[in-house]
Amino acid sequence: MNKLNLAGKWSLARVGEETICTMNVPGTVLSGLLDAKIIEDPFYRINEDRTREIFWNDYQMERSFEIEEGFCKEEQVELVCEGLDTLTDIYLNGTKVASTDNMHRTWKIPVKDILKTGENSIRIVFHSVLKYINDYVYEPGKEVKYIPSGCMKGNHLIRKAHSMFGWDWGPQTIDAGIFRPIYLEGYSHARIEDVHITQDHEQGVKVKTAVRIKEAEDQQSWIRVTISEEDGSGVQSQQIPAADGSAELEFEIPDPKLWWPNGYGSQPLYLVKTEILDQENGQVLEVSEKRIGLRTLTVSQEKDAWGKEFAFCVNGLKIFTRGGNYIPDDCLYTRISAQKQDYLLECCKRANFNCVRVWGGGYYPSDEFYDLCDRKGLIVWQDLMYACNVYDVTDEFAENCRIEAIENVKRLRHHACLGLWCGNNEIESAWDHWGDFQVETAYLRADYIKLFESVLPKAVKETDPDTFYWPSSPSSGGCFDKPDDDTRGDNHYWDVWHGQKPFTDYQKYYFRFCSEFGFQSFPCMKTVNSYTEENDRNIFSRVMESHQKNDAANGKMLYYLSENFQYPENLKQLVYVTQVLQGMAIKYGVDHWRRNRGRCMGALYWQINDNWPVASWSSIDFYGRWKALHYMAAKFYAPVAISVYLTEKSAAVYLENETNQVQNVKVSLRVKDMYCHVLEEITSEGKADAFSAADILDMEISGWKEKKHAVFLEAEAVLADGTVLTDVETLVPFKHLELEIPQFTTKVTEEEADYVIGITSSCFAPFVELDFEDADVIFEDNFFHITDTVEKTIRIKKTDIRSGSFTDACDMLNRLTIRSLRTSD
Ligand code: BMA
């Protein structure tokens, strides 16, 4: 096969005008203009406004390229575009060869007749999507009135990531361009059209590969499939002639090594190599390689005492799913590198996630994303790319969506990490009871069923019958049958935050699986500084408000602040305290649902990441900096976790055990004063069975009513292997606690691979944050409580110094900043 990569230098222009600059492809209008320094950073201050406006223009990208004679002699030549954003006309040597209208699809365009030996040219015109949606003339009864929060009217008309038009956490930076590889392929032989790998775990493990090829004229081909472990051992190979272009080969895997999600076992992968060979000379014509993991993975919906469960079931084991929701990592999609995603997903793994939900308002990530999830043991809940919108499902639109689904399902279905396909985000629920949806026409309502309960599930099931399909998130199974019912299916819960209910409200709900719940915070000052000038650094300034896309959110953060903490003295302290609030909120929900393991079987918080620097629900900001929530998640998502459940009269200490071992534990619950003196202590031994949660100890606390402002509760669990887990609760909100100002003593020592920070406090210091103003590191733990006068040690692996550097321990000590609730700077 001949392949010519068309990546590299292209020229960028507005249609009909002079070249603006040369740019790198894969690249977009924004990446091109930014690299050429023609526009300023769209994320700085309110540059978003200017950035959006440039997309009222049509753009074109153009280049020439040389074709060798041999290429033109191939029987077939195709132009392959793996990602075109979005409304394009493609010209080769001046002839229009295709128009495209879906950034989620791969376009393969036959171009043999147009290519010539020697110099050729390609020009892609990107029509303004803003003009398209603005000029769009709706048919009577089909005008969609609903606009998702922060987004633009008409975003639903185009198969382009909805959130590129803005969202309640993202800017309207639009963009257009070639965001994935583009190349020519010439061939005169049979091609692999499809490799569908399925597994049978009934008796032992059998791997089946169904191969379909497009045969070439006058050529007989063989199909060879080889399967091996990743290290090359256990090779098995079979080769058979292709009969009518297809072949099915089955392998029995001796001593199968099963793939498990993070925390339940390892993630061994097997390599499945499919080749087509020329029957006459044995020459290999084409190769396809896929990595698989041996596992069964589905969703169990067995009936039980509470209704119907909703639990991922891996190799027969029902797990408690812990994770978060993923959005695109950047508004400029060509900057979403495998390296960036590796970092993000590794952070998820470090916080003890076993699942990420790829949310439907973004894009289908690249293959590398799923390779990384396979390796890290992160189950992917995969939405199809539809969110919070109403669609007019014409035949043409339905066909476009159908092909998009088939292409992406084929690309991803072999991945070990793939947990389920989900039709969309929140649209069933919206049709069921969101007020704004009830004014839309019945015609459009019927179109929901057509697309999400007919066209798409049919396409997905035909292409990947083995993976679970769920019509919407949340849902109870479809047909507008109480999509928010908490006795079955999944739920999104937003009464804490959008509904301004107290954190304790989480404890009223026993969802079967909570796939969204969230709480906002500001990113840290380093990130705020990146998009503001000194004068902007007030949360109600024009600049900071434009980096807050949920209109009511600043008010909400201040409301929750007023309920829990004293008034912060400055922006630094405000930013810190919003992060603490966010971590506290999510911990409340997760602890409660984990205590009710069995009834609830999953928690995915909203949201893991950001696509620009912004105040949002994320636990990791745009620059990869961990907010308090991410550090806290590492603890509340740990396979074995402790939590205190407080009621008026008593405090109960629970152990949540997501391991296959019984956990024997010694638990202490102490009432301490502000100088960490123990005023009362009870201890108890107990156990939590494998995959269960248990109430280990209860303490009557009514006796502390009088002194409730002067004490805190410290729960400690010592596991059989010596691991110590702690949790802290207070009997009054922190704002009413008689906290002393802590005097910290710190030291830093250097070891070969780590720096070790030793820190002592003169008194109880809740939510201690360590940081460096001019360096980024990941601490072993952060936003922790100091509950006694013993030195606490926190390690920093040298490999976790992400930016900046330290000459030695002394340098680190000098630059270390410490904050806690009673620190004012
Ligand atoms: C959820 C998501 C997003 C949104 C978030 C916060 O329901 O699906 O649409 O960003 O709420 O409002």
Q: Best of 163, 384, 385, 516 to mutate for ligand 1, by most ligand atoms within 8 A of CB?
A: 516
Q: Are 619 and 605 in contact (CB under 8 A)?
A: yes
Kindly write down the DSSP assignment for every residue of 535-573, as one continuous string: GG-STTSHHHHHTB-STTHHHHHHHHHHHHSPPPSSHHH
Query: What is the 164 CA–ligand 1 centroid distance (Å)?
Result: 15
Ligand 1 atom showing the smallest separation from residue 498 Cα: 12
Q: Are 773 and 732 in contact (CB under 8 A)?
A: no
Q: pLDDT tens digit string along 94-108? A: 999 999 999 999 999
Domains of the chain: 2-185 (2.60.120.260), 190-292 (2.60.40.10), 739-825 (2.60.40.10)
Q: Give me the pLDDT at residue 183, please.
A: 98
Q: Give me the pLDDT at residue 141, please.
A: 84
> Could you give the percent of the chain with pLDDT greater than 90?
97
Q: In the predicted model, what is the mean pLDDT of residues 472-493?
A: 98
Ligand 1 atom showing the smallest separation from residue 167 Cα: 10
Q: Are 720 and 664 in contact (CB under 8 A)?
A: yes
Q: In the predicted model, what is the mean pLDDT of residues 486-509?
A: 97
Q: Are 9 and 23 in contact (CB under 8 A)?
A: yes
Nearest CA to ligand 1 atom 10: 168
Nearest CA to ligand 1 atom 8: 425
Q: In the predicted model, what is the mean pLDDT of residues 274-290?
A: 94
Alpha carbons 84 and 60: distance in angstroms, whole number: 12
Examine the pLDDT at 216 and tell me if it is beyond 90: no
Examine the pLDDT at 193 and tell me if it is beyond 70: yes
Triad 607, 609, 610: Cα angle to 5°: 110
Q: In the predicted model, what is the mean pLDDT of residues 234-253?
A: 94
Q: Are 344 and 624 in contact (CB under 8 A)?
A: yes
Residue at token pair 């949002």: 616
Q: pLDDT tens digit string along 76-131? A: 999 999 999 999 999 999 999 999 999 999 999 999 999 999 999 999 999 999 99
Q: Give me the pLDDT at residue 68, please.
A: 94
What average pLDDT does the chain have? 97
Distances (CA, A) of 434 to 167, 257, 293, 383, 393: 18, 47, 40, 20, 20
DSSP bridge pairs for 372: none
Residues 6+ apart with CB under 8 A from 517: 492, 493, 494, 496, 497, 506, 586, 589, 603, 605, 606
Question: At 292, which helix (H) or strand (E)?
Answer: strand 284-292
Query: What is the 514 CA–ligand 1 centroid distance (Å)?
Result: 13
Examine the pLDDT at 56 and tell me if it is beyond 70: yes
Query: What is the 358 CA–ligand 1 centroid distance (Å)?
Result: 13
Other beta carbons less than 10 A from residue 495's beta carbon: 14
Q: pLDDT tens digit string along 778-816? A: 999 999 999 999 999 999 999 999 999 999 999 999 999
Q: In the predicted model, what is the mean pLDDT of residues 172-190?
A: 97
Ligand 1 atom showing the smallest separation from residue 518 Cα: 6
Alpha carbons 695 and 685: distance in angstroms, whole number: 11
φ/ψ (deg, to 5) at 325: -100, 135
Q: In the predicted model, what is the mean pLDDT of residues 423-428?
A: 98
Query: What is the 552 CA–ligand 1 centroid distance (Å)?
Result: 14
* The two structure tokens encoding residue 168: 């309640």
Q: What is the DSSP letter of 759?
A: E
Q: Best of 325, 358, 386, 388 to mutate for ligand 1, by most ligand atoms within 8 A of CB?
A: 388
Kindly write down the DSSP assignment for every residue of 213-239, as one continuous string: EEPPTT--EEEEEEEEETTS-S-EEEE
Other beta carbons less than 10 A from residue 748's beta carbon: 21
* Residue 287: closest CA among 275, 279, 278, 277: 275
Residue at token pair 């290519």: 115
Triad 792, 794, 797: Cα angle to 5°: 160
Reported pTM: 0.98
Examine the pLDDT at 825 and tell me if it is beyond 90: no
**Which pLDDT band, with edges at 50, 70 and 90, does 220 fall under?**
confident
* Residue 565: closest CA among 820, 215, 264, 309: 820
Q: In the predicted model, what is the mean pLDDT of residues 623-632?
A: 98
Nearest CA to ligand 1 atom 6: 168
Triad 211, 314, 514: Cα angle to 5°: 115
Triad 717, 720, 725: Cα angle to 5°: 25
Alpha carbons 381 and 357: distance in angstroms, whole number: 4
Q: Give me the pLDDT at residue 824, please.
A: 64
Question: At 722, which helix (H) or strand (E)?
Answer: none
Q: In the predicted model, what is the mean pLDDT of residues 636-653?
A: 97
Examine the pLDDT at 151 and tell me if it is beyond 70: yes
DSSP bridge pairs for 125: 60, 89
Examine the pLDDT at 656 and tell me if it is beyond 90: yes
Q: In the predicted model, what is the mean pLDDT of residues 175-185?
A: 98
Count of residues for the chain? 825
- Around ligand 1, the residues with Cβ closer than 6 Å are 167-169, 387-388, 425-426, 492, 516, 606
Alpha carbons 376 and 137: distance in angstroms, whole number: 47
φ/ψ (deg, to 5) at 32: -65, -50
Q: pLDDT tens digit string along 546-581? A: 999 999 999 999 999 999 999 999 999 999 999 999
Other beta carbons less than 10 A from residue 441's beta carbon: 16
Query: What is the 583 CA–ligand 1 centroid distance (Å)?
Result: 18
Nearest CA to ligand 1 atom 4: 168
Query: What is the 147 CA–ligand 1 centroid distance (Å)?
Result: 13
Ligand 1 atom showing the smallest separation from residue 168 Cα: 10
Nearest CA to ligand 1 atom 12: 168
